[in-house]
A and B are shown apart, each in its own frame.
Chain A
């Protein structure tokens, strides 16, 4: 199981949980399973979030992931 940290505003979509445990061996699997176990998160995930994996924004959804990795969903930002 991978622990996924959510930003506080998503707690209302996860019955108050700010950290949720999800199965998955890649980032893609984790995000898919997150939408299955917490369907209220699906619109947010589809609209685009950034994923921080061990302190680095990771864009390759095939990146392997394992228990103990630090995973944060954060608001997607771009810049000027």
Chain B
């Protein structure tokens, strides 16, 4: 049921007011990372390795430094030594040490008085390399004879005998696998592959850093998490976190790719070397593709057993994932936890390995790991359904995880909305729409567990009763609106009377980034608690004014009221009246809440897509697309729908066109949007959405994070739709026209 049809009793929750950042963004007033300037500012350029794997023999910057206007050149020699663990990995990725590990790896950086001069100077920095053998494919990287990229990196979990590029191993499961497969009427197994894809945010990475000889610095940056930027940059530069203040700019998309550092410490190190002058560093699109984190590429084995009635009796997966030349970047844990999360299966086995390859350091990308896992498992479920003549939604409902079922990764589910989502998808007109020649329908379900994380929020009542809310989670997808709605609902005041500000690292306790679909959940929960604290104080002020006990005061409709006839008869004191008199009643009125909120609610969804495939070209056209997902409670339904649509579109791009293409030389071949094809509006129909609401009991308004689940089902749903349209099952992404055409011809139908 769509949110707008529900009667929740809320005044504001579930309405669609104007977005608070709308005017700034459409008029160009919003300040993004590259818009920040400062007096005396320098511009930076980065020298990057043209080789996938090469030893750095010598760096000669003398010609660059001789150019008038060049103020500083840095190499790894300008960074502190002795770092360990992830701090060392961050430093190593920020600036290569002895070895360049991928095409695009930074090896030097220069600051100059203009951007063009900095770029010219970068060309004059001479780097001598000894080229080393490289490997970029995940299966090739763990095959005998593959070059060992970082020997000795494997953790103790890796079984003996595996290639040194295999650095982590995970397994878990439950039930009697052999008995489960023996009980099935049909057992099928296959291998599926996905390529690395980039988050594709519109705004390239950009920052302005300033650091003096005293080691105290400032940074303005487009990021999903200013405290992460502070902690990571401080670690890489060997300074104390408190000596770096980080202010987030407006952000033009992140999708996980802006939860870490890539080049930010370079601007600070250049600034320090240039006598403290601020240094701006803005990546080109090519640099974004070559040197910031895409997601992992995968190779995945899946085996599932099913009875004739659709009951899944057993499942087994073995995932191989590479996330570049740095450990810890392949989302194998997440992929395994999501693989069978939509199902209640008596016997499951999960295994995965993380593999190093000569590619850039991967970063989180919207539900990291889940889309790949879904592509493998949901595609195989569809293959079994088709072979047994079963309805794909009915089969998913038959095996669906429900309230109280043991999840595939162990714990029991609390209150979840998978069944409601599948039933809503089945009831939607799209599921009954007639299909023509060369057209097919695909269905898939999806899951993301969502996240809480460190959260700190402050709120202040103004002298006129309006309210400022200070939060630490950058507004990537509409959280200012949802936080303002929840705050206004709690305080009983108009939405327009609340302004939500995204603040710098000096203004609040540590906040995790806007990631894990947590901003509306976690910052929202904290904002509600902060508002309740302020309400308590305003009730105490009213009680003092009336000379009654604070317990005899209640808050409703934006004002303090005597609580019942025994409290006495007093006219209500509004928030504006209390705010106006705060100077004489005890001083400023504020609320604050900080926690690592529990009660995170997982979000399930189901997608239905119809496609038409041109049998002569292999081109796939999306005819209609439906996203159904459990939001818990949609605070601002338009933003929820936007998240659903955005996730679906990114997933469609991943399924059809997007991929990192490496040449035999290990260099990235398609590092601009002309060659890396993302879907644009003219490629797609309007994405239909249905918001299911199974409220999360762990949030005061029932919120579940909604940002990530939507990218999970499109990969298998698209593959199944193409299989239905052509009879050809593609198990390797992307399903670009040449691959689809080849598959059609292989089936003898072309």
Residues in A lying within 8 Å of B, measured CB to CB: 5, 7-9, 52, 54-60, 70, 72, 74-80
Confirm or deny: B382 has a beta carbon within 8 angstroms of a beta carbon on chain A. no
A76 contact set on B, CB distance < 8 A: 333
Select which of A7, A55, A57, A78 is within 8 A of B364 by beta carbon.
A78
Main secondary structure of the interface of A (DSSP, over half): loop
CA distance A55 to B452 in the complex (A): 15
Main secondary structure of the interface of B (DSSP, over half): loop
CA distance A54 to B453 in the complex (A): 19
Do A55 and B512 form a contact, CB below 8 Å, given A8-B172, A79-B450, A80-B366? no
Do A59 and B597 form a contact, CB below 8 Å, given A8-B171, A8-B172? yes
A77 contact set on B, CB distance < 8 A: 331, 333-334, 337, 449, 451, 516
**Segment touching A, from B25-33, B59-67, B409-417:** B409-417
A75:B333 contact, CB within 8 angstroms: yes
Instruction: Give 5 A-B pairs besides A78-B451, A80-B516 with Cβ atoms closer than 8 angstroms.
Output: A8-B173, A54-B412, A57-B600, A70-B411, A78-B515
CA distance A22 to B515 in the complex (A): 33
CB within 8 Å of A: which B700-724 residues: 707-708
B256:A75 contact, CB within 8 angstroms: no
Select which of B254, B256, B409, B600 is within 8 A of A56 by beta carbon.
B600
B412 contact set on A, CB distance < 8 A: 54-55, 70
Closest to B169 in A: A9
B414:A72 contact, CB within 8 angstroms: no
Residues in B lying within 8 Å of A, measured CB to CB: 157, 169-173, 199, 254-257, 259, 331, 333-334, 337, 363-368, 404, 409-414, 448-453, 512, 515-518, 595-600, 698, 707-708
Do A74 and B337 form a contact, CB below 8 Å, given A9-B157, A9-B171, A79-B367? yes
Nearest chain A CB to B89's CB is how many angstroms away?
15
B364:A75 contact, CB within 8 angstroms: no
CA distance A9 to B336 in the complex (A): 13
A79:B172 contact, CB within 8 angstroms: no
CA distance A56 to B602 in the complex (A): 10
A80 contact set on B, CB distance < 8 A: 199, 254-257, 259, 363-368, 515-516, 707-708
A56:B598 contact, CB within 8 angstroms: yes
A78 contact set on B, CB distance < 8 A: 259, 364, 451, 453, 512, 515-516
Could you list 12 examples of A-B contacts with CB < 8 Å? Answer: A5-B410, A7-B409, A9-B172, A54-B414, A55-B404, A59-B596, A70-B412, A75-B334, A78-B512, A79-B366, A79-B515, A80-B363
CA distance A58 to B331 in the complex (A): 22
Select which of A56, A58, A70, A79 is within 8 A of B517 by beta carbon.
A79
A60 contact set on B, CB distance < 8 A: 596, 598
CA distance A74 to B708 in the complex (A): 20
B516:A72 contact, CB within 8 angstroms: no
- Most chain A CB inside 10 Å of its own CB: which residue of B199, B254, B255, B337: B337
- Most chain B CB inside 10 Å of its own CB: which residue of A8, A9, A52, A55: A55
B598:A59 contact, CB within 8 angstroms: yes
Closest to A54 in B: B412
Do A9 and B366 form a contact, CB below 8 Å, given A56-B599, A59-B452, A60-B598? no
CA distance A70 to B331 in the complex (A): 26
Select which of B259, B334, B411, B453 is within 8 A of A55 by beta carbon.
B411
Nearest chain A CB to B344's CB is how many angstroms away?
14
B173:A79 contact, CB within 8 angstroms: no
A79:B256 contact, CB within 8 angstroms: yes
Closest to B258 in A: A80
Select which of B364, B411, B414 is within 8 A of A74 by beta carbon.
B411
Select which of A5, A7, A54, A79 is within 8 A of B516 by beta carbon.
A79
CA distance A59 to B410 in the complex (A): 18
Nearest chain A CB to B315's CB is how many angstroms away?
15
